[in-house]
Structure 1
Amino acid sequence: MSHDPQDLSQYSLLDLFRLEAGGQVRHLTEGLLRLESGAGEAAVLEGLMRAAHSIKGAAAIVGLEVVVELAHAMEDAFTAAQAGALELGPAGIDVLLGGVDLIAQVARLSEAALDDWKLAQRPRIDAAVAAMRTLGTLAAPAPRLPAGEPAPEAAPVAAPDAEPGAAAVAAAAAPTGAGAGSGADLLLALASETRVNAHKMEAFNTSLQRFKRQQAAMLQSLAQLHEAIAASGDARLLEQAAVVLARAQPLKPWLQQHMADAETHERRAVLVSSRLVDQVLALRMCPFSEGVHAFPRMVRDLARKLGKQVQLLIEGSDIPVDRAILARIESPLNHLLRNALDHGMEAPAERSAAGKPPLGTIRIAARHRGGMLAIEISDDGRGIDPERVRQAVVGRGLGSPAMAAALSQAELMEFLFLPGFSLKESVTEISGRGVGLDVVQQVVREHNGSVRVESRPGLSFRTAITLPLTQSIVRALVVQVQGEAYALPIAKVERVLRVAQDAVHTLENKQFFELDGAHYGLVAASQVLELGVPAPAAELAVVVLGTGAARYALVVDAIAGEQSLTVQSLDPLFGKLRNIAAGALLDDGSPVLLLDVPDLLLSIDKLLSTGTLHHPLHQGDGAADGAVAVRRILVVDDSLTVREMQRKLLAARGYRVDTAVDGMDGWNMLRAGDYDLLVTDIDMPRMDGIELVAMVRRDARVQALPVMIVSYKDRPEDRARGMDVGADYYLAKGSFHDTTLLDAVFDLIGPATP
């Protein structure tokens, strides 16, 4: 049975009050902090008045007199401030925030617990009301409230001025993790399966193109047979051949029409399924602000406790983030802010002496970058002196003085992520227990992210966190290892490159290559994954993983390209599989395992420590020049970018590739060379692709040469024109993928070497 999203009849008045109170508490907290910073006083006070009045009215309806008392006293203080009879300074803000905290506690209580709470907290409530009522006469610091439970952080709920819908009330009343989350996960799995099925149409359409080529060859043979029979003069056979030819001719336009229909269906299915996935993902997303709205209050209170003046600025509040990720990183961000306040920020006098403003600034900035979520936490405090880290490394027995002296600043910063590593000499309530960056790194790594820190001694400290936008969809690099597809999260990949045989060196029975002044140790993925010994190769496809001393070049058989994968958890029956994080489906529907990069790095360390690491490159196994024929391909395109991209892609698969800038240049090269395949664009100066293909089919020497057209023109009539002139394959650039081109080339001429 479906429910009207605006039907609130199923919720009690207390449920509705909880929802409204949560929003108003957040509004009051944010407004008071803005008021303290001196931003738009008149407008802020007006908003605070409305919030206090609204929560007072709602509390009166549900019979929560304690909230009515608190909100009424708060409203009186705002009225006095609006009239100019009260100037709210930090002490007054403290009093009002104390009242807000009490309202927040009431809003989270069940009816059964309410009476006991009011009895226990009555002295604190009376003190808060009295303090707010006497704010107008305050000339000294506000009276301290009786000790009680610590001020709670308001839970992220709906915006204060929003009309509460049934879904929002359900979310507020339901336990954490219940509600729409699990339903959205199920929808995402179904939507992803729909997208995979849509992409399967591409393979079907490719098979139709092959069938069309076979049909064209058959029709040509029938025409030749008809001509031979006509030359023989046998009237009976000629009549039968004419009948067969007439019956076969309608097959050509029939197939062309159905191919066009199938391609249209494919485009529509892919578009609809992709939009469906996007919409389901949107259900899991929320603004970045929902996870950090409580931080300004925390920073303000903690700074006052430490005797410091600090403001927190948040940028990118509207950036959409996966709710699951936001919930997990809230605690690490809290650690970073506390470290910045306690370790990094100086007292006002110290800042002034250093030529800095007394008010320090911490900044949290969120943005989307390269399909990832980038979060930066920076402050303009004292930073970290690398020499102190160097001394701590030696003092804690983590390295010798000589080793520590040789470490760069970036390498020294890596020690801050070690469990229990702290530069704080004494343990305090806030920091000094060695808890902080190691927790941050652990949580970020669990979500396929990365974290790094930078310090400018005396000036600033910055922590950069990179995470996937969602845990449901992972942008991954797909590779081939021993004939199987595996995926690596892009966030964990430092770079991808090919390494020639003569660039590989061996030292102490380990193979490595040098790039930009750094050494990269070579490790065969087939051995790490226990798939056997790698096959000999003259050139290596390499994926660089890890950072610092734990950076390795993982050797794979081939790089298939990037894909956005919908992550599917493995059956709990399997337990935790070594080196494997999850499963997924590729665009063609085939399964792929998502590799666990931290696990991979541990496995590599184990191979190194036991001395059982194989050599990925077997020196001398490469074929001698000229010993094996390599298939040659001519790429003709007037776009330098497209031309070079195709050349590099094909060359990486071992083909020998030449390029031409237009049809005329290509025709001259075809006549002078010996090629196994022609890949050409259509729109080019001097001679276009259609003319080039026509000339190829008319020339006896090259007319059997396989021809592929790669063009932005994707209309059925464009495809028909290309295929009718004699092309064997038509590939649209608009739907171009690395694997599509490579598969088509393999289909036409086979592998690079016969």
Structure 2
Amino acid sequence: MGKYNESLRKRLLVAFTAEAGERLGNLADRLAMATPPVDPALLETVYREIHSLKGASRAVALGDVEILCQAWESLFARIRKNQQEFNQQHLELCRQAEKMLHHLIKHPDAKAPDSLPMLCIQLESDSLATGEPDASATFPQEEAASDSAQVLEDSTSPLPPIGPVNSKRRLKVDVTSLDTLLFHIEDLQQSKLEAVQTHSHAEEAANNFTEWHRHRHNIAIACRQIRQQSEHLKQAIPDEQQTLLEFSDWVIDYLGQWEYRLSILARNAEQVARNIATASEALHLEMQNVLLLPCNVLLEGIPVMAKEIAQASGKQINLTVEGDSLTVDKRILDELKIPLQHLIRNAIDHGIEPPSERLVAGKSAAGILSIDFSQDDASRFVITISDDGRGLNADKIRNKAVEQKILNEEDASDLSDQEIYHQIFNSGLSTSSMITDISGRGLGLAIVRDNIEQIGGQVQLESTPGQGTSFSMRLPVSMATFRALLVKVDEFIMAIPAQAVIRAMRLPLESVRTIENRMTVTVADRVLPVWRLAEILQLDGETERRISGTRLQTVQLYAAGKDFCLQVDEIIDDTEIILKSLGPQLIRVPNILGATQLGDGRVIPVLNPQDLYQTACATAHSSITMYSEEAPGQRSKILVAEDSITSRGLLKTILENAGYEVTTANDGMEAWSMLRQSDFDLLVSDIEMPHMDGFTLTDKVRRYRSLSSLPVVLVTALQSPEDQERGLDVGANAYIVKSSFDQVNLLNTIRQLL
């Protein structure tokens, strides 16, 4: 044929490179996971892939690629003809051939490596099993055909018989086109929510005419009575009354027409909402099916990476995969690539032992690394990465956490081994004594947890020393839509992803306590920190927030591996939302995951629970003042006499949280002066104070006529029976010892005295 069309060749080469890349990636992973005896089905797959690559390379005039594939085919043809066992040498030779093929395809116009002829000789040599290449073998001199239309049949290595053709037809589509289509479908999902909201408003407007019916009836009776009275008296109706009667008749008729129109509008809105919902759900379901990919897509390149890391570390591994045919949303799989790579690196570098160490421990020389995919329920699935290595060292992690001040020694010693294991998710914590290009910086597992929680998943781990470690990631199957809890904070409506919400609660005042100047609540026998969401998001400049009523509206969340509570002004509803990104200009906004549009058109932020916890930990103490609905002037006034700044501040916070108006004095003398100058409803006093102690202060109060009935509560470190008896002798109404201090007991005592 005529001169080869270079322009056509370049276009064909682009297509060939893309196709060959997919085929080689599949080959590389399969060969990396293979161990003798090799599954015959794997050999058949490799044989077919090589044959397909040989034919495709001939079409784009890549002679070196065709020659290598020809030699590689010869190896498989010889093994099949002689019924030889595919051994470890064959496997290593195939891996070398795959790497050489990858290089030739990646650099199609470069000169072939000098090692190519020898590799082809080894592939074609009959003495491969002995490891001695046949010296008489010659490098094949066959030239690749230059005409893309010419197709040559290989008579020396026939293609194995082809199995049944898959009835499903597939079409390759640009990912950006799918993204655009998905964007429009999400817009339709939003229209569905808006249509539902419109129907709700129309139905509400139609139902409001029920109230009008009652007034229309009364107006009609009044108009009829006026006309009957005028006829009875045979008097003309005054012009003003006649105008009102005519207007009433017109209004009744006009509103009757609108009632009918609104009822029709409500029915039509319902039908439109139903039609949009049907179309939206159908498109959404079909799009989900399009986006559903088998989990083996996630594993592309993982076996090769694992094998290379093991070789670089002087270790041996056998990688097993189960359940990778499970289908999951492509967007979820895309987000899992980096976490999976980190977990594989950690398992090989930290978990799997060197062969010599494993043999001493009674294990096989090669470590077992398994990846298992399983369906958890209709909407979630689980990925489990486990190894049979040395497991986690709780003492080593505990010491490292204390050394890096992630935990103090007391907390670290109180935690169980399982709780200590979860500390490895903290950024910067690594038990590795050396930083390498594989691990040692303490960032990998922190990234894993962050990425998993970002898409609504959770990570759990289990480890047994000497037996291995297992990481389980529970994840949503799809991320097109998800539910969120709508809350109101300082007149702003916000959404919290439902995946992070444990429960929404209205807590009584008695469950709110102050520990180390931090607000806490007790939920299911667990003490959890509680922060004001408005304070975390800096929606106001106040350091205190007064909450009306006797109950606190809170949301318990789980994020960053922690349970915590957020106080909000109002819990509105649990609803379905469509999460939208903030655009390229706002790729990363602290505390904000994205945005969503409500059915009424309002755009609200979707909060990031993980960021909220980290921001909350960095904020100053949160003070929430609870008060009843009574006017400020009617609130009980309490004077606190305490010389310790810490104790004085703690008592003030507790009492103000309970809704009391609190004044403080630095010692007994100052308190005595303030008692005579202002009115108070109760005195809380320490005993050991400078200038005037609590016993003397109480005695003076009882002897002063205008203060003799003032309730006095002594809160002190003195706990001997003699001190308690003296306190009661001088007139104290209650005696509370600080060593057994309970704020609930204090508040109950004060309520009884007031």
The TM tier, using the shorter chain, reads 0.5 to 0.7
Kindly indicate whether residue 551 of structure 2 is the aligned counterpart of residue 542 of structure 1: no
Deviation at 1:70, TM superposition (A): 1.7
Cα distance, 1:470 vs. partner? 5.6
**Is the Cα–Cα contact under 8 Å of residues 196 and 586 in structure 1 kept in the other structure?**
yes
- CA separation in 2, counterparts of 1:243 and 1:404? 81
Aligned partner of 2:76 among 78, 85, 89? 78
Pick from 48, 58, 67 the counterpart of residue 56 of structure 2.
58
Cα separation, 1, equivalents of 2:514 and 2:68:
75
Matched, 1:570 2:582: yes
Greater shift, 443-452 or 406-415, is seen at 443-452
Aligned CA distance change for structure 1 residues 58 and 245 (closer, same or farther; 3 Å): closer
The residue that corresponds to 1:36 in the other structure is 35
What residue is the counterpart of 2:741 in the other structure? none
**Shift in Å at residue 537 of structure 1?**
3.0
Find the residue that maps to 2:531 and give its secondary structure: strand
Give the secondary-structure state (helix, strand or coil) at the position aligned to 2:43: helix
1:139 correspondence with 2:130: yes
Q: Does 1:556 align with 2:550?
A: no
CA contact 1:56–1:68 (8 Å) conserved in 2: yes
- Answer yes or no: is the 8 Å Cα contact 1:448–1:492 preserved in 2: yes
Question: Gaps (5+ residues) in structure 1?
Answer: 1-8, 144-160, 172-177, 628-754
Comparing 417-426 with 91-100, which one deviates more in the overlay? 417-426
The residue aligned with 2:109 is: 115
2:306 matched to 1:299?
A: yes
The letter for the 1-side match of 2:623 is H
Q: Deviations over 1:523-573 (max 9, x none)?
A: 121222233435323222212235689643101122223333223333666
What residue number does 2:86 align with? 88
SS of the residue corresponding to residue 432 of structure 2 reads coil
1:671-711 deviations in whole A, cap 9, x for unaligned? xxxxxxxxxxxxxxxxxxxxxxxxxxxxxxxxxxxxxxxxx
Equivalent position amino acid for 1:209 in 2:
A
> Map of 1:318-337 to 2, 5 A cutoff?
318-323=326-331, 325-337=332-344
In the aligned structure 2, how far is the partner of 1:443 from the partner of 1:50? 38
* Partner Cα distance (1:435, 1:135) in 2: 50
Structure-2 residue corresponding to 1:261: 268
2:551 and 2:582 map into 1 onto residues whose CA distance is 35
What is the alpha-carbon distance in structure 2 between the residues aligned to residue 391 and residue 528 of structure 1? 32
Q: Which residue of 2 aligns with 1:49?
A: 47
Pair 1:523-2:520 in alignment:
no
Contact map agreement 1:299 1:312 (CA 8 A) in 2: no
What is the CA–CA distance in structure 1 between the aligned matches of 2:45 and 2:64, rounded to whole Å? 22
**Partner-residue secondary structure (3-state), 1:568:** coil
Q: Give the aligned residue type for 1:115.
A: D
The equivalent of 1:393 in structure 2 is 401
Q: Normalising by structure 2, report the TM-score.
A: 0.66
Indicate the residue corresponding to 1:489 in structure 2: 497
**Alpha-carbon deviations, 1:274-305, whole Å to 9, x = none?**
43445556555533321213223333454456
On the 8 A contact 1:60/1:68 being kept in 2, the answer is yes
Distance 1:277 1:337 in 2: 34
Shift of 1:96: 0.7
Q: 2:618 aligns with which of 600, 606, 609?
A: 606
- Is 1:126 aligned to 2:112, yes or no? no
1:183 has 2:180 as partner: yes
Which of residues 501, 509, 514 in structure 1 aligns to 2:509? 501
Match of 2:417 in 1: 409
Of 526-535 and 396-405, deviating more is 396-405
Structure 2 residue identity aligned to 1:539: R
C-alpha contact 1:288 1:321 (8 A) present in aligned 2: no
Instruction: Give the distance between the partners of 1:604 and 1:521, measured in 2 at CA.
Output: 10
Mapped to 2, the partners of 1:281 and 1:14 lie a distance apart of: 33
Distance 1:346 1:577 in 2: 42
Deviations 1:622-677 (A, max 9, x none): 679xx9xxxxxxxxxxxxxxxxxxxxxxxxxxxxxxxxxxxxxxxxxxxxxxxxxx
Which deviations, in whole Å up to 9, do the C-alpha atoms of 1:435-475 show, x marking residues without a partner? 52133234445556543433222223122335555666453
Query: TM-score, normalization: structure 1?
Result: 0.66
Pair 48,198 (structure 1): closer, same or farther in 2 beyond 3 Å: same
Aligned in 2, Cα 1:205/1:531: closer, same or farther, shift over 3 Å?
A: same
Q: Deviations over 1:88-141 (max 9, x none)?
A: 2233212112212332344444xxxx322xx2x422323332332237632359
Aligned to 1:317: 325
Contact 1:544–1:552 (8 Å) recurs in 2 = yes
Q: Secondary structure at the match of 1:424?
A: coil
* SS of alignment partner, residue 462 of structure 2: strand
SS in 1 for 2:187: helix
Alignment gaps of 5+ in structure 2? 1-7, 135-164, 238-244, 635-754
Q: Which residue of 2 aligns with 1:437?
A: 445
Contact 1:378 1:460 (C-alpha < 8 Å) held by counterparts = yes
1:275 to 2:282 alignment: yes
* Contact 1:499-1:540 within 8 A present in 2 as well: yes
* Distance in 2, Cα, partners of 1:591 & 1:374: 33
Aligned residue in 1 for 2:200: 203
Q: Distance in 1 between matches of 2:133 and 2:578?
A: 55
Matched residues in 2 for 1:35 and 1:81: separation? 17
- Aligned partners of 1:549, 1:283: CA distance in 2, in Å? 33
Cα distance, 1:249–1:403 mapped onto 2, change above 3 Å: closer
Q: Distance in 2 between matches of 1:539 and 1:578?
A: 30
Task: Kindly state the Cα deviation for residue 434 of structure 1 after the two structures are TM-superposed.
Answer: 3.9
| Alignment correspondent of 1:648 | none
- Alpha carbons of structure 1 residues 188 and 272: separation in structure 2 relative to 1, 3 Å: closer
For residue 580 of structure 1, report the CA deviation from its aligned partner. 2.8
What letter matches 1:76 in structure 2? S
Q: Which amino acid aligns with 1:270?
A: A
Distance 1:221 1:10 in 2: 89
For residues 293 and 48 of structure 2, the distance between their equivalents in structure 1, rounded to whole angstroms, comes to: 26
* Aligned-residue offset at 1:179: 3.4
- 2:443 & 2:132 partners in 1: Cα distance? 35
* Residue identity matched to 2:120: V
Shift in CA distance, 484/369, structure 1 to aligned 2, threshold 3 Å:
farther
- Residues matched between the structures, number: 580
Q: SS at the partner of 1:12?
A: helix
Counterpart amino acid of 2:207? R
Local SS of the residue matching 2:273: helix
- What SS is found at the alignment partner of 1:115? coil
Larger-Rg structure: 2
